[in-house]
Chain A
């Protein structure tokens, strides 16, 4: 599992101002901490960066590269800023992300800078409603990328995880279903997912349960990579294959097993309950672990 640390983000209370003031210290400290925590990539999320985004991306890439050799994931919707970052990025960069409507403009960058790309399955009409719509968007992205000389192994599809707390828009199951068919429709393509989305809106101290459980569920279908909170060490252990029993339990529950809670540890019960709210078998509430 390739892990992309999500923490260096413009919406962070320390990183936002540091980016604005071009203050390298908090940014370098965080990048180093993420590297030490054991992620494989460091995501540099500078947001839409409409004003002087190119200068900002160039600066942040250089700043981070001074303290770590980890590969970088460049995260902005501004193509000019993206290119400025790619120009100075030393290793093989990951472009995070390109959706169909931005392919014409941004896919050439993938080829030009020998980068990889996250193909965001965000349709022209917004969020896809099921696995099939995700499949259609993925195929469109793949063909277009291939045409522009980007091979499948450089495309990482992100099916877009959605918050479990909102019953109306919970797409957790369609994402799993998409993952199960990805290798049939786009052989050789990779996958990733913005994992923390699944727990958006849940109480902060409980979010890791949703993130970890969903990661284990996606692992069942061979998830290649995930964009994660670098400081959730338990999550990293799970991704590194150090929690095989709990992963096996989660997969059994997904297959319909209903283990008696009395036969499980307290921790295992929490994961079983969490799997049930993610699949929609049980309706989410903030106290889902208590009932």
Chain B
């Protein structure tokens, strides 16, 4: 009898979610198989990389991460433009770091104005990320949704504690929400149910499982993402059939290892080290089912794109 390769019995499909608006909008999700199991199903939309832009000049970035963005880090709109024009970014993730109540504590109006400028400067889909402070994010992200009405931004993190107010604003002004939970599949499912109860359409949800980088617990993130995909694809769990977004760059580039100088602790070239840590972490998350990966360094992004191309070459 001829050997037959066992096949996974899939019964579900990840939802296809359209991000952004206009001719630069992208669609993510749609998988009918585990990541890159192209011999068992389809990945109609390959994972997308969103390039990270900050709304204030970063103070503590490693030199290697700053270097590609020299001259534009004090202007988020120029920074985003550079990402699109020079590095081919298909999406931008604007981190509203300046709104942190423990930092600059910039107000909602000012923050929303910056978001509007960035959205106008680039046509690609825009992810807008708050500081995970429920009160402040509610204030800031609600204003952002209003100012950018109809642009279909991706607003995050939307957590259980602020999902009602931010979710309602997203419904009102037509944006997608990034439902964020602390590496826990049961809580992730629950938040998606709550968003559904609130009236957020299933077409406007992506999930942020919370991610960390290599050396800092990525295995656990991998397991949770993998299990999420199993529930969505093989257990018909409709509340987990959403694309996954992973905010990995800030995790990779804040590690102690990335900030060590050349040769310190025998860890070699600092630039290469940072780029590889980011690229490898991103790749792990893509293999776990990540659909949108937020990344920072153009060379790390290039590496990831090459690997994805190789994995999907026919």
CA distance A166 to B227 in the complex (A): 13
B90 within 8 Å of A (CB atoms):
no
CB of A108, distance to nearest CB on chain B (Å): 44
Check B194 against A287 for contact (C-beta < 8 Å).
Answer: yes
Give A201's nearest chain B residue, CB to CB. Answer: B186
Size band of the interface chain A makes with B: 10 to 19
> Which bucket holds chain B's interface residue count?
10 to 19
- Nearest CB on A from B210, distance (A): 16
Residue from B189, B194, B197 in contact with A283 in the complex, judged by beta carbons closer than 8 Å: B189
Q: Is the interface of B mostly helix, strand, loop or mixed?
A: helix
Complex contact B237–A287 (CB within 8 A): no
Contact of A290 among B186, B187, B193 (CB under 8 A): B193
A191 to B: closest C-beta gap in Å: 28
Residues of A within 8 A of B252 (CB): none
Instruction: Tell me if A282 and B190 are in contact (CB < 8 A).
Output: no
Whether A184 is near chain B, meaning CB under 8 Å from some CB there, is no
Within B184-216, which residues are at the interface with A (CB < 8 Å)? 185-187, 189-190, 193-194, 197
A291 contact set on B, CB distance < 8 A: 193, 238-239
In the complex, are the beta carbons of A285 and B235 less than 8 A apart? no
Asked whether A167 is an interface residue with its Cβ less than 8 Å from the other chain, the reply is yes
Q: Which residues of A contact B237 (CB under 8 A)?
A: 282-283
| Inter-chain contact A285/B190, CB cutoff 8 Å | yes
Q: Are A166 and B186 in contact (CB under 8 A)?
A: yes
Q: Is B240 an interface residue (CB 8 A)?
A: yes
**Nearest CB to that of B230 among chain A residues?**
A283
Flag if B193 contacts A287 (CB, 8 Å).
Answer: yes
Chain A minimum-CB-distance residue to B190: A285
Min CB gap B68→A, angstroms: 40
Q: How far is the CB of A208 from chain B (nearest CB, A)?
A: 19
Chain A residues with Cβ under 8 A from B239's Cβ?
285, 291
User: How many angstroms between the C-alpha atoms of A17 and B189 in the bound complex?
Assistant: 39
Enumerate chain A interface residues (CB-CB to B < 8 A).
165-167, 281-287, 290-291
| A to B CB contacts below 8 Å, 22 in the list | A166-B186, A167-B185, A167-B186, A167-B227, A281-B235, A282-B235, A283-B185, A283-B235, A283-B240, A284-B186, A285-B186, A285-B189, A285-B190, A286-B186, A286-B190, A287-B190, A287-B193, A287-B194, A290-B197, A291-B193, A291-B238, A291-B239
